[in-house]
């Protein structure tokens, strides 16, 4: 597929990307260190991946054998109810080649009086999307999902598998969600 074709598709459908990011921002996924609200956003991402025809799994890092024994594991983060989503777009050869990753959690909202729009508004105004996570890192999730959908619909087939990962617990410690992918 020609790169210019991809750029044209992105330009023609960029409003879909903005709406996807807005929908992600509307989901409260705050990280409180000892626990987090990532479950709902992971359910949403998991469904989007399945709807695109990707293989997708939603899981707690604690479900993985030996996870709590890893030297970078930090107890006390309530990971039993925090989730990752890993989706696979199978390539022509069933070999993993590339993983795109972004985290689902956000820092806490703080005082609502300090916000122009509510932290979960997802408001699109004056060429900006407002809300917690719009830049860090729900934009990363939106871009990888949007581009995968765009390329699949355009008939592109990767040579090798593409993995998409949306992971928990980045904001306070950072290792738990990404750790399972090493």
pLDDT tens-digit map of 53-106: 999 999 999 998 888 888 888 899 999 999 999 999 999 999 988 999 999 999
Residue 140 pLDDT exceeds 80: yes
| 123 part of the active site | no
Mean pLDDT of the chain: 93
Residue 158 pLDDT exceeds 90: yes
Which of these is catalytic: 38, 137, 169, 170?
Answer: 170
The per-residue pLDDT for 182 is: 44
Say which DSSP state 120 is in: T
Query: Per residue in 169-178, pLDDT tens?
Result: 999 876 676 7
Which of these is catalytic: 38, 105, 137, 169?
Answer: 105
| 136 part of the active site | no
Spell out the alpha helix ranges (H) of the chain.
3-25, 39-51, 138-153, 176-179
Could you tell me if 89 and 158 are in contact, meaning their C-beta atoms sit under 8 angstroms apart? yes
Provide the CB-side half-sphere exposure for 20 (13 A, CA): 22
CA 60, 47, 140, 157: dihedral to nearest 10 degrees? 110
In sequence order, the 6+-apart residues with CB closer than 8 A to the CB of 41 are 24, 27, 29, 104, 166
User: Measured between alpha carbons, how far is 58 from 157 in angstroms, rounded to an integer?
Assistant: 24
Pull the structure tokens for residue 49: 């991946």
Banded model confidence at residue 180, pLDDT cuts 50, 70, 90 = low
Stated pTM of the model: 0.94
Spell out the alpha helix ranges (H) of 26-175.
39-51, 138-153
């Amino acid at each position: 597929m020609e790169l210019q074709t991809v750029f044209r598709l992105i330009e023609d459908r960029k409003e879909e990307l903005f709406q996807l990011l807005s929908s992600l921002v509307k989901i409260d996924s705050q990280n409180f260190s000892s626990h987090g609200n990532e479950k709902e956003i992971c359910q949403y991402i998991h469904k989007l991946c399945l709807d695109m025809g990707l293989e997708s799994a939603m899981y707690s890092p604690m479900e993985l054998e030996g996870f709590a024994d890893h030297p970078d594991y930090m107890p006390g983060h309530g990971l039993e109810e925090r989730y990752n989503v890993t989706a696979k777009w199978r390539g022509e050869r069933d070999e993993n080649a590339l993983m795109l990753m972004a985290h689902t959690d956000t820092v806490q909202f703080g005082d609502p009086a300090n916000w122009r729009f509510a932290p979960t508004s997802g408001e699109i105004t004056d060429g900006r999307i407002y809300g917690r996570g719009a830049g860090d890192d729900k934009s990363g999730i939106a871009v990888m999902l949007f581009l995968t959908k765009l390329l699949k619909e355009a008939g592109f087939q990767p040579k090798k598998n593409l993995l998409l990962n949306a992971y928990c617990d980045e904001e306070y410690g950072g290792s738990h969600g990404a750790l399972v992918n090493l």
